Structure 1
Amino acid sequence: MAWLYLILAGIFEMVGVTMINKMHRDKNWQSVVYMLLGFGASFLFLALAMENLPMGTAYAIWTGIGASGGAIMGMLFYGESRDWRRILFICMVLGAAVGLKAIS
């Protein structure tokens, strides 16, 4: 169950980061509310995951999902660069997260 919590924490981290970008673009209060809810849920699920997972592993995977997911969301929805090198390094971050899971 801890791994599910950790994945949910990463997904909500992506929501929070995406809402920061939306907040800067649209400048409305709904984006602020969704950003706070996204980050709040992210921290809640991270805390639940860390009840059973080592802190270093949980934090590394949480930030990896958030960073990679935020970059992918930027590419999909905000026209950010889709350069092959950028995609390669995103894959490396995700590969490192899988490696941490494999040895945990």
Structure 2
Amino acid sequence: MAWAALILAGICEMVGVAMINKLHQDRNWQSAVLLILGFGASFVFLAYAMETLPMGTAYAIWTGIGASGGAILGMLFYNESKDWKRIFFIALVLGAAVGLKLVS
């Protein structure tokens, strides 16, 4: 259950990151509320996961999902570069997260 909470925390982190960009573009209250809810839920799920998982592993996975997911969302929805080098390094981050899961 801790791993599911950690993945959910990472997804909520992605929502928060996307809403930072959206708020910067639109300046509306809906984006601000979603930003707060996304990061708030992310911290709650991360705290729950860290009751079971080692702190270093949980934090590394959480930041990996958030950073990779934010970059992917930027490519999909905000017309950011889809260069193969960028995709390669995102895959490395995700591969490292899977590796941490395998050794934890």
TM range (shorter): over 0.9
2:88 pairs with 1:88: yes
SS in 1 for 2:45: helix
Deviations 1:70-92 (A, max 9, x none): 00000000000000000000000
2:100, 2:80 → 1: CA distance?
Answer: 28
**1:51 Cα deviation after fit:** 0.4
Aligned to 1:46: 46
**1:29 Cα deviation after fit:** 1.0
> How many residue pairs align between the two structures?
104
TM superposition outliers: structure 1 runs of 4+ over 2 Å: none
**1:96 Cα deviation after fit:** 0.2
CA RMSD of superposed structures (Å): 0.3
2:70, 2:7 → 1: CA distance?
Answer: 14
- Name stretches of at least 5 consecutive residues in structure 1 with no aligned partner: none
TM-score by length of 1: 1.00
Letter in 2 for 1:101: K
Letter in 1 for 2:17: V
- Percent of aligned positions with the same letter in both sequences? 78
2:79 pairs with 1:62: no
- Name stretches of at least 5 consecutive residues in structure 2 with no aligned partner: none
Superposed, 1:1-104 pairs within 5 Å as 1-104=1-104
